[in-house]
Amino acid sequence: MTRLLVIDDEPLILETIEMTFPNDEVVTCASAQQGIDVFLDCTPDVVLCDIRLPDMSGMEAFEKLHRIDAKVPIILMTGRGTAGTAIEAMQRGAFEYILKPLDPDTLIPLIEDAAETSRMTRVRAVVPDKSLDEVPTEGESDLLIGNCPAMQEVYRAIGRVARQNVTALILGESGTGKEVIARAIFQYSQRSAERFLAINCAAIPENLLESELFGHEKGSFTGAERKKVGKFELCNDGTLFLDEIGDMTPLMQTKVLRVLQDQTFERVGGTETISTNARLIAATNRKLEQAIADKDFRSDLYYRLNVYMIKLPPLRERGDDIELLANYFLKRFARELNKEITGFAAEAITLLNTYRWPGNVRELQSAVKHALLEASGPIIVPTFLPETVREGAPSKVVAAPATPAPGGIDFASLTRELLAEGSENIHRELINLAEKEIFAEVLKQTDGNLTQAAKRLGITRTTLRARLESLGMSLEKSASVT
């Protein structure tokens, strides 16, 4: 839910906006002073402010609001005659301007975009120190969870790069936390009081992306009814987050490369050369080196972006962090959903640890939420987890060896299959598979006696038990035998 503050003295406009956003909290004010008082009182997510107000000019009102909290996106509503003032306000930090009469098809995506920017700018992404017990209040901050060596390295990298004014490139599969890392870099940087804007390069068509990034002059193409200031210009002194950069078209790659090289560009249809010192943070889940080999991505752009690279590991490679994250989300959502659930059953943890998590942290987050909504007792047991996690084999290979050789598992073909699949966890997957076979056979020979089996294997009973658990192998039979 977005908290929207609307300042306008036209009752019809206030009513229209209330009706357009029935599921959001819309606070309306008929004068600039009243709007400023409410702003001070409730810190909205987004402000919509008319450029003509009874008690002061919209520009003055904008400047007062912006001075109070520069991180709240302010959108100015204007008639055609006052668009020039609105553009000037944008250059001073306003988020956008919109022409009256308001068209819901333009207004709704604009408010969504502003609310998302507001969230990214204002919700802190906090790199943990020692206090991992901390559960931030919803909306206040996102604590980055994870202790594994790869995540420790990520935190160190944020610390190293944030305060330097260089481009950062964040790589990682979908849902690994690239956006949170980008926000952390911004928030720990010297530009944290300046503008932070984000754009998803995969979500919009090339010509729109071009306008969004570089702006356009009025009349430069059909539909360009007014001049637009692009994000590179707006982010002068600020930070621009280009998400899914690997999906940019060749034309856009060339244009972005030029900005990185010369810090200049022209608006679409314009001749004026504009300078920008926007700091770029880029992210992608594509393997850029492969995209370069496939001639899909410019190598010179890659080298420009890759001044400092942060690689996020997939969740399945983060070891104990899976349990840590699951418990963190459990605490967080239990509080939000007002549920008294204290933890996970051991079997549920085993499932979480063995599942492959193709959607990474985002998928774990929704699995925990799902489990909380399903849960009826004080702890999460396997049946409350989503079916994909319960039944989704930890990995294709571990579930069903594709080509077992007559005498056992054909490791050479499995290795080839995993290589072709692009797996980056071949060692772990095959070792798990081998262990499963070995343990199953020894337990069969020792009638499920854990002590005997551990003795024959030459490992301790505790180690065997832990390995069986983490491989998702049943302990039922062996547990009854000591």
Ligand X SMILES: Nc1ncnc2c1ncn2[C@@H]1O[C@H](COP(=O)(O)OP(=O)(O)OP(=O)(O)O)[C@@H](O)[C@H]1O
Q: Give me the 292-311 binding string for ligand X, x by CB under 6 A, dash otherwise.
A: --------------------
Return d(Cα 347, Cα 443) in angstroms, integer. Answer: 20
DSSP 369: H
Instruction: Identify residues 23-62 at the interface with ligand X (CB under 6 A).
Output: none
Applying CB under 6 A, which part among 214-222, 268-276, 339-347, 360-368 lies near ligand X?
A: 360-368
If binding is defined by CB under 6 A, does position 198 make contact with ligand X? no
Q: How far is the CB of 106 from ligand X (least distance, A)?
A: 25
If binding is defined by CB under 6 A, does position 174 make contact with ligand X? yes
**Of 361, 375, 453, 464, which one interacts with ligand X (CB under 6 A)?**
361
Beta strands in 144-267 (DSSP E): 168-171, 196-200, 215-216, 228-229, 239-243, 264-266
Phi-psi region of 292 (alpha: psi -120 to 50; beta: other; left: phi over 0): alpha
Q: Which is nearer to ligand X, 50 or 243 (CB)?
A: 243
Nearest position to ligand X, beta carbon: 177
Instruction: Identify residues 127-146 at the interface with ligand X (CB under 6 A).
Output: 142, 144-146
Return d(Cα 409, Cα 396) in angstroms, integer. Answer: 14
Q: Which is nearer to ligand X, 131 or 222 (CB)?
A: 131
State CA 134 to chain mean position distance: 21
If binding is defined by CB under 6 A, does position 175 make contact with ligand X? yes
Q: How far is the CB of 198 from ligand X (least distance, A)?
A: 10
Q: Which is nearer to ligand X, 172 or 238 (CB)?
A: 172
Return d(Cα 447, Cα 393) in angstroms, integer. Answer: 26
**Of 362, 390, 465, 467, which one interacts with ligand X (CB under 6 A)?**
362
Return d(Cα 400, Cα 393) in angstroms, integer. Answer: 9
Q: Which is nearer to ligand X, 7 or 367 (CB)?
A: 367
For residues 265 and 274, the answer to whether their CB atoms sit within 8 Å is yes
10 Å Cβ neighbour count for 393? 13
**Of 35, 177, 238, 313, which one interacts with ligand X (CB under 6 A)?**
177
If binding is defined by CB under 6 A, does position 72 make contact with ligand X? no
**Of 179, 194, 247, 429, which one interacts with ligand X (CB under 6 A)?**
179
Q: Which is nearer to ligand X, 111 or 145 (CB)?
A: 145
Cis peptide before 394 (omega within 30 of 0): no
Q: Which is nearer to ligand X, 176 or 452 (CB)?
A: 176
Residue closest to 110 by CA, chosen among 139, 125, 90, 85:
90
Q: Give me the 240-269 binding string for ligand X, x by CB under 6 A, dash otherwise.
A: ---x--------------------------
Applying CB under 6 A, which part among 172-180, 225-233, 262-270, 338-346 lies near ligand X?
A: 172-180
Q: What is the DSSP string of 289-357?
A: HHHHHTTSS-HHHHHHHTTEEEEPPPGGGSTTHHHHHHHHHHHHHHHHHT----EE-HHHHHHHHHS--
**Of 117, 118, 167, 176, which one interacts with ligand X (CB under 6 A)?**
176
Q: Which is nearer to ligand X, 82 or 365 (CB)?
A: 365
Q: How far is the CB of 215 from ligand X (least distance, A)?
A: 25
Q: 108 in helix, strand or coil? A: helix
Q: How far is the CB of 372 from ligand X (least distance, A)?
A: 16
If binding is defined by CB under 6 A, does position 180 make contact with ligand X? yes
Residue closest to 145 by CA, chosen among 288, 13, 9, 330:
330
Phi, psi of 273 (to 5 degrees): -90, 125
**Of 122, 178, 228, 231, which one interacts with ligand X (CB under 6 A)?**
178
Return d(Cα 28, Cα 319) in angstroms, integer. Answer: 50
Q: Which residue has the tokens 């002061």?
A: 56
| Residue 89: C-alpha distances to residues 6, 60, 130 (Å) | 17, 10, 43
Q: How far is the CB of 143 from ligand X (least distance, A)?
A: 6
Q: Which is nearer to ligand X, 269 or 386 (CB)?
A: 386
Which parts of this chain interact with ligand X (CB under 6 A)? 142, 144-146, 172, 174-180, 243, 285, 361-362, 365
